[in-house]
Amino acid sequence: MLESLELDPMLLLLAALACFVGAYVQTAIGFGMAIIAAPILFYLSPALVPAPLMLVLLVMCLLNGWRFRKGLELNLLAPALLARIPGCALGVVLLALVSQQSLAILIAITIMLGVLVRLKDIALPMNRTNLAIGGFMSGVMGTSTTIGGPPMVLVLHGADIHRIRANLAGFFVVSTLMSVGALILGGYLSLHHVKLALPLVPATFLGNWVAARTLHLVSRPVMHYGSLLLCTFAVIGMLINTFS
């Protein structure tokens, strides 16, 4: 399938379209690219996940990190970023030791518990403990599946929409760099993966550019329910990919 993806324009177009839509959604509401793109890219070729998608996601995160840099709160994110380091390490270990089925079930349960908490309007205070837990879980999930957004979204969920965008953008810049480094050290990212990722980068730029010009259309209710819906899709897509 790798060879056919590199040569078949239709497969490349579908992969680029998935990255375009994912980039648009992530720029608009703060996260979602991996949730949208990972299941599609995995279906087109399992080799595109996690390493090539992680590289494309890094481009996306750098763009948004620069765009929303003025609203970044490093002191707020410090516990989450520190906790993500051991989370990334555990994510690499899980790739090697734990079956995909077991990992998918564990992550699915964790995400859906968080979604239920938010739907019941149970407050998750943005304290150091919750941020650290969110950062750790994001490291585990992001490194092993590329879907690391839901834990941090569930912690930051009650904040102002602009604050959410800015801090998620900053968190994802550093955390995605951590995951890329962990994949390289674990032997899961090579020059071949870089070559697979490069054709998808222009679509990511375009999705980000279009979204930046329509941010005013994203309201608080869209942010609230859209993020919870994407968390749910993350679970469904991950389970489908794992057990198919």
**What is the tens place of the pLDDT at every residue in 179-209?**
999 999 999 899 989 999 999 999 999 999 9
Please determine, for residue 175, whether its predicted confidence score (pLDDT) is greater than 50. yes
Q: What angle do CA 33, 74, 30 make, to 5 degrees?
A: 20
- In Å, how far are 107, 182, 187 from 100, measured between CA atoms? 10, 18, 18
- What is the spatial distance between Cα 211 and Cα 191, in angstroms, rounded to a whole number? 30
Quickly tell me which residue has 């899980």 as its tokens: 94
Burial class (CB within 10 angstroms; exposed 0-12, middle 13-18, buried 19+) of 176: buried
- In Å, how far are 54, 80, 124, 178, 209 from 145, measured between CA atoms? 9, 19, 25, 14, 26
Tell me the Ramachandran region of residue 190: left when phi exceeds 0, alpha when psi lies from -120 to 50, beta otherwise.
beta
Would you report the helix, strand and coil content of the chain in percent, each value rounded to 5? 85, 0, 15
- What is the spatial distance between Cα 173 and Cα 142, in angstroms, rounded to a whole number? 12
Please determine, for residue 210, whether its predicted confidence score (pLDDT) is greater than 70. yes
- pLDDT at residue 4 in the model: 45
Please determine, for residue 62, whether its predicted confidence score (pLDDT) is greater than 50. yes
Does the model's pTM come out above 0.85? no
User: Out of 128-137, 205-214, 217-226, which region has the weakest mean confidence (pLDDT)?
Assistant: 217-226
Token output for 110 = 């964790």
Helix (H) or strand (E) holding 127: none
- What is the spatial distance between Cα 201 and Cα 195, in angstroms, rounded to a whole number? 11
Please determine, for residue 3, whether its predicted confidence score (pLDDT) is greater than 70. no
- pLDDT at residue 25 in the model: 86
Stretch 175-179: mean pLDDT: 91
Asked if 211 contacts 22 with a C-beta cutoff of 8 angstroms, the reply is: no
Mean pLDDT, all residues of the chain: 85
